[in-house]
Amino acid sequence: MAKRDVNARLPEGPGELIDRARPVEFMFGGRKVSALQGDTVASALHASGVTTLSRGFKYHRPRGLLCAAGRCPNCLVNVDGTPNVRACTQPVKPGMNVRHQNAWPTLKWDALSVLDRLGWLLPVGFYYKALHRPRLLWKLARGVIRRVGGLGRIDIRDNHENGYRHKNVHTGVAVVGGGPAGTAAAIAAAKHGAEVTLIDDQPILGGSLRFSQFEPGGPESKAAAGTAEGLAKEAAETPGIRVMTGAAVFAFYQDNLLGVLSGRDLVKLRAKQVVMAAGSFETPLLFENNDLPGVMLCSAAQRLVRQYRIRPGRRAVLAASNDGGYAAALDLLAAGVEVAAVLDSRPGSSRPPETTRALEAAGVPVLAEHVVEKAIGRGKLRGVTVRPLGGREPSQRRKFRCDLLCTSGDLQQADGLLYQAGAQREHDPESGLPMGWKLPPGVHAAGDVTGPQSLAAALLQGRLAGLEAAQSLGRESASLREEIDDTRRRLDAAQESHDAEDGIEYVRNSPAGKRKFVCFCEDVTVKDISVAVAEGFDDIQLLKRYSTATMGPCQGKMCHKALVGLCAHFTNRSVASTGATTARPPLQPIPLAALAGPSHVPMKRSPMDRIHRDLGAVMVEAGPWQRAHSYGSPNEECLAVRRQVGMIDVSTLGKLDVRGSGAGALLDRVYTHRFSNLRVGRIRYGLLCSDDGTIMDDGTVSRLADDHYFVTTTTGNVDLVEEWLKWWSIGQDVSVHVNNVTSDYAAVNVAGPYARQTLSKLTKVDLSPGAFRYMRFARGEIAGIPAMFLRIGFVGETGWEVHVPAEYGESLWEAVMEAGSEFGIRPFGLEAQRVLRLEKKHLIVGQDTDAVSNPLESDVGWVVRFDKQDFIGRGSLRAISERGLRNRLVGFVMSDGVTPYDGAAVVSGGAPVGRVTSARHSPATGKGFGLAWVPVEMAVEGSRIDIVVAGKTVPAAVTHQPVYDPDGKRLRE
C-alpha cells in the first residue's frame, strides 16, 4: 500500500466538502490515519492509499470503494464498537476507532479467503443441498457456519452511550431527495405557503450536480456546481423549508408516515403530501473479477474528485452503457488522471457528440460497442481486457494497463419508497417496456426516479410536483392554477423522448462467469443465477430467496436490476413479465437500537414509593407497579400483624368511582352478588364473572351514597374491570358514570390487635367495636387529612383500609408509623400479606384461579346469587351447578415441615390430578400449608392428598377451614 501525503489533494475546486485548515486524526486497524474535516472515513482512507476496505461475505475476497454514496456493502466497518457502519457516509471525527470486519487475522491476510478457491464446495443454495447426512455432520457444520456467517459483531458492553432519540415531526409536504427535481419541488411548494421538509441522504443538496463537472450535456453546458449552489441557496432562503441533509428515508408506512434516520435521531415524519424525487443511481457492470478493488462506479470516482479532491487513480479505463462514463472521463482528465480508453457498449450513434469530441481532442480513444471482459489483478486492479460486443475471438481482445476502472451500468431508479407507498409501474401493453407510474393519492414523483430526464425537464417536473402538492394542501389560487398550467406546457416541450430500455441488454453479453458478481452483499455470481434458474427457481421471488441475491445490506440497490435482467435472460422472458422483488421497509439496514429508541419503561409508583425505598424494601414488579416485597423479614412482619400491628401500602389497588342513578343496577348486573340493596355506609365482597362463568376479578364494593359506589379491584385488573363496567353500562337507559380513580388515592391497610388503638390516636372517627363494625365504611379525618375508612380483613385481623388523597400519602404513612410506634408497628410487604391471607384461605384472583376457574369450584359460591335477576355468567354458572362440580379449590396442611412450591403437582396413583396454587410455611404451626386444586372426590375434609415436593410424594390433609382463626372472630373484634 503506497502511502500518500494526505495534504496532497487536488487544488481547491467548487463544491468541495473538505476543510483544509482543520486536520483530523483517527485510528484504522490500529494505525493512525490523517484526514481533513469534512472527509468521510472512506475518502480519508482512500486519500492515504487504503484501497481495500472490507472482505466479501462468502468468499472473503478483498473489496474496495464501489459507490461512495452509502448504497453498496463494500465499505462496512466497525466504528467505535458499532458494526456495519458505511465508511463512505460516516464523517470522520477526531480519535474515532475504525476497525475492519469479516476478516481474520487482518484485512490484508484473511484466513477465510481460502474459500475463494473452494467455491466449488459452496454452490448456490449449498445449505439446502449438503450437510444433511450423516446427521451429525449438520450439527458440526452448524457451529462453524454460525461462527463464520453473519456480518459484524455487536459489542454487548457498548450500550446506552449510543442511544437513539425518537422524534415526531409533522409537515405539509415532505420531499424525498434533494437533487435538482426535489429542491425545485420544495421551493415551488413553499412559495405557495406549504410547510416543506426536504430530505437528502448526502451532506449537501444538489444530487448528481454535486459530483459532475458539467451539467448533463457536456462541456458546452454550465458548470454543475454553480447550478447546485444556486438551488441550495434558493432553498435555504425560501421561508417554510426545513432541510434535513445526511438523513436517510428508510421506510414509507401507511398514511404518508416516513421513517427517517438522521444521525442519532429517528424521525417519524408525517406528511400530508409526499414528493418522491430520489433520483437514480448507477449499477455495476457484469464482467469477470468485477469486484476487484480499483473497480468503482463512475459517480464514486467523480465524488472523490469533486467533493474530497482526491485523485482516484493514475490511469483509468471507463466502461459505460450510458452517457455517465463520458462525463466522468472529462472529470478524471481535469483531475490529472490519464484516461486509457472509454468503452461504450452502445453503437457509435448513441455517443454524446460534444463530450466525445472533447475526449478525442484530449487523445482518449472512445470505443463504441466495446465491453470489459475481465479485470486483471490480485487484490488490486492492474489492467483490463476488453473486446467488441459479440467478439469472442482471442485476436479481438485488447488489453489496457490501469489502476482504476470506472463503470456505469444501467441506471437504477431509486423507486423503493415509491413501491412501498403502493405506486405501480405501468408498462406499454405492446412492447412491455416501462412507461410511467400510477401513484397513490397524496404522493407525487419527479426527476430521474420517473425515468431518465434532461436537467431542464427534471427541474420542471420537480416544480410541477411541488405546485400540485401545494394545491392538494388546499392552497388553491388563480396564480397557482396558472403556474401549474404554464409549467405543464413547458414540461411537455422540454421532455425529450428517451428510448425506453428494459435492462436486458445489460446482461445479454454476460454469459455465466465464475467471478462475475451480481450481488456484492451475498457474493452471488452470474453462474449462481444460471444454476438456480436451471434448478427450477425461475420465478423472481423464488430466485431471490434461493440465491439470496438482493437480500443483503444493500437491499438490492446494486443488484436488483441485474437480477431481474438475468432472470429474464435465462428464462427467455421479457423484463416486464419477469416482474420485480417486493420492496419492503427498511429500504436500507438501520440499527435495531434506532428503532427501539429511548430506554425508559413506563413504571407505576405508589405515592409512598420513596418511603419504601428509603426503608430499604425489596421492591418487586407487580404488573406495571413497583411494590414492596418485604422490609427484611416477612416472617417477623407476619408476626407483627398477628401480635401487634402492621401497615401495608395498598395504594396500588384498583379503585373505581361508580355513580349515577343506575349505579346499583349496573353493579347487580355485572357482579354475582347484589349491591342495589347494600345500605349506605356498608361494604360487600364482590366477584365478577365473564359470560362463561369464569372468574374475572374480585374486590370490595362500598356504598357511599344512594347513587354513589366506591369499588376496589385487584392491582392488575382495574383497566379490565373499568372497561367491563363501561361496556355493560352502555345498554343501560339510566345515568351511570364509571371513573378510574386508582391514581387519586393513597391507601394503607392497618391491621392487628393494636390497629384500633393506633388509628384512634389520629382520628375522631369512633372505631370502637360497637360503633364501627366489620364491613362498614365511614368518612373522617386522619392526622388532619380527609380520609375514607373501610373496615375489611384480607389478612384476618381487626383492621382498616384508609384511603386519602394521593398527595398526602407520605404524610399519612409517617403519621401512622409514629402513632403505632408505642405498639410495635411494622410495615409489611407483599410476601407477608400473601402468607397472612393464605392462613385465612382468602384467594387471590390470577394466583389461585386461572382462566377456567369458576366461583362454585373456587369455594366462593356464597357470593353467587342465583335468586337475583340476570347477571353476567348466570346461565353458565347455573349449568355448572346442575352438571355438578368436577374440581375444587381446597386448603391443605402438610404432614410435616416441608413446603411445596407454588404449582407443585397433586398426584394420585402416580398420575397428576391437581396442583398447588399457593403454599407457604406457617410461622404459627411450623407446617407447610396452602391452597390446591383437587378432583371433587378428594375435596373431603381431612382426606389425604399427595403432593410432589422435590421429586418425592409427601402426604397432606385437605381442609375447608382457614388454618388461622377459622371462625373469623379476630376479624370482627
Partner 1 sequence: MPASPVKKSAMHARQLGAGARMAGRDGWSLPAHYSGVEREIKAAKESIAILDASPMGKLLLQGDGLEGILSGALIPDGPPATGGVRRLPSPEGGLLAKLAADEYLVLCNPADLPQLTETLGKAVQGCAHALDRTSGLAGLRLTGPKSGRMLGKLSEFDCSPASFADLSCAQTKCAGIRCTLVRNDLGGLPSYDLYFPREFGEYVWDAVLEAGEEYGAAAAGFKAADRLMG
**362 vs 734, beta carbon nearer partner 1:** 734
Contact pattern for partner 1 over residues 216 through 255, marking x by CB under 8 A: ----------------------------------------
| Sites for partner 1 among residues 899-928 (CB under 8 A) | none
Q: Tell me the backbone φ, ψ of residue 406, rounded to 5 degrees.
A: -100, 130
For the four alpha carbons of 90, 94, 97 and 102, in that order, the dihedral sign comes to: positive
- Which CB, 6 or 174, lies closer to partner 1? 174
> Which of 708, 972 has the CB closer to partner 1?
708
Of residues 713 and 854, the one with the C-beta less far from partner 1? 713
Per-residue x/- mask for partner 1, residues 258 to 297, rule CB under 8 A?
----------x-x---------------------------
- 779 touches partner 1 by CB under 8 A: no
Near partner 1 by CB under 8 A: residue from 754, 808, 892, 964: 808
**Which of 807, 896, 937, 973 touches partner 1 by CB under 8 A?**
807
- For residue 955, what is the enclosing H or E element? strand 952-959
CA–CA separation, 297 and 285 (whole Å): 9
- Residue placing its CB nearer to partner 1 in the complex, 360 or 706: 706
Cβ proximity to partner 1, 279 vs 809, nearer residue: 809
Q: CB of residue 785 vs partner 1: minimum separation in angstroms? A: 5
Position among 274, 721, 783, 880 found at the interface with partner 1 (CB under 8 A): 783
Answer for which of 169, 334, 484, 500 binds partner 1 (CB under 8 A) is: 169
Examine residue 805 and tell whether it contacts partner 1 (CB under 8 A): yes
**CB of 159 vs partner 1, minimal distance in Å:** 16
Residue 800 and residue 769 in contact, taking contact as beta carbons nearer than 8 Å = no
Q: Which of 162, 477, 735, 869 binds partner 1 (CB under 8 A)?
A: 735
- Do the Cβ atoms of 580 and 540 come closer than 8 Å? yes
CB 714 → partner 1: shortest distance, Å?
16
Choice from 37, 811, 895, 943 touching partner 1 (CB under 8 A): 811
| CA neighbours closer than 13 Å in the CB half-sphere of residue 627 | 21
Please identify, using beta-carbon distances, which residue of 807 and 896 lies nearer to partner 1.
807
Which residue in the set 595, 741, 775, 948 belongs to the binding site for partner 1 (CB under 8 A)?
741
The only residue of 745, 754, 892, 933 in contact with partner 1, by rule CB under 8 A = 745
Between CA 613 and CA 598 the distance in angstroms is 25
The values of phi and psi at residue 638, to 5°, are -60, -45
Choices 213-221, 470-478, 734-742, 903-911 (CB under 8 A): range interacting with partner 1: 734-742
By beta-carbon proximity to partner 1, the closer residue of 761 and 776 is: 761
Contact present, 175 and 198 (Cβ < 8 Å): yes
Cis status of the peptide bond prior to 441, with omega within 30 of 0:
no
- The stretch among 46-54, 117-125, 605-613, 914-922 that binds partner 1 (CB under 8 A) is 605-613
Could you give the C-alpha distances from 345 to 181, 321, 407, 430, 671, in angstroms and in order?
Answer: 29, 5, 11, 26, 82
- Cβ–Cβ under 8 Å, residues 284 and 558: yes
Residues 6+ apart with CB under 8 A from 479: none
User: Closest approach of Cβ 741 to partner 1, in Å?
Assistant: 6
Strands 165-176 and 196-199, sheet pairing = parallel
- Please state, in angstroms and rounded to a whole number, the distance separating the CA atoms of residues 416 and 585: 9
Q: Rank residues 269 and 790 by Cβ distance to partner 1 and give the closer one.
A: 269
Spatial distance between the Cα atoms of 849 and 642, rounded to a whole number of angstroms: 27
Interface with partner 1, residue 166, by CB under 8 A: yes
User: Is the CB of 20 or the CB of 166 nearer to partner 1?
Assistant: 166
Torsion of Cα atoms, 600 then 606 then 611 then 614, to 10°: -30
Q: Least distance to partner 1 from the beta carbon of 941, Å?
A: 43
In the complex with partner 1, the residue whose CB is nearer, 535 or 657, is: 657
Q: Could you tell me the sign of the dihedral formed by the alpha carbons of 210, 212, 214, 216, in that order?
A: negative
The reply on whether position 797 binds partner 1 by CB under 8 A is: no
Q: Which one, 236 or 603, has the nearer CB to partner 1?
A: 603
Which residues within the stretch 641-660 sit at the binding site for partner 1 (CB under 8 A)? 657, 659-660
How far is CA 200 from its chain centroid?
22
Give the separation between CA 478 and CA 484, rounded to whole angstroms: 10
# binding residues, partner 1 (CB under 8 A): 48
- Asked if residues 28 and 45 have their Cβ atoms less than 8 Å apart, the reply is yes
DSSP reduced 3-state for 679: coil
Provide the mask over 818-857, with x wherever binding to partner 1 is found by CB under 8 A and - wherever it is not: x---------------------------------------
Q: Residue length, the chain?
A: 973
Near partner 1 by CB under 8 A: residue from 36, 124, 812, 938: 812
Q: Are 461 and 439 in contact (CB under 8 A)?
A: no
Could you give the CA distance from residue 800 to residue 137 in angstroms, rounded to a whole number?
Answer: 69
Query: How far is 27 from 99, CA to CA, in rounded Å?
Result: 8
Q: In this chain, which of 357, 761, 927, 972 binds partner 1, going by CB under 8 A?
A: 761
Residues 44, 337 contacting (CB under 8 angstroms): no
As a whole number of angstroms, the distance between CA 559 and CA 584 comes to 16
Question: 135 vs 160, which CB is nearer to partner 1?
Answer: 160
The residue written with cell numbers 484526514 in the block is 35
Q: Are 318 and 386 in contact (CB under 8 A)?
A: no
For partner 1, the binding residues (CB under 8 A) are 165-170, 195, 268, 270, 598, 600-607, 609-610, 625, 657, 659-660, 735, 737, 739, 741-745, 761-762, 783-785, 805-812, 814-815, 818
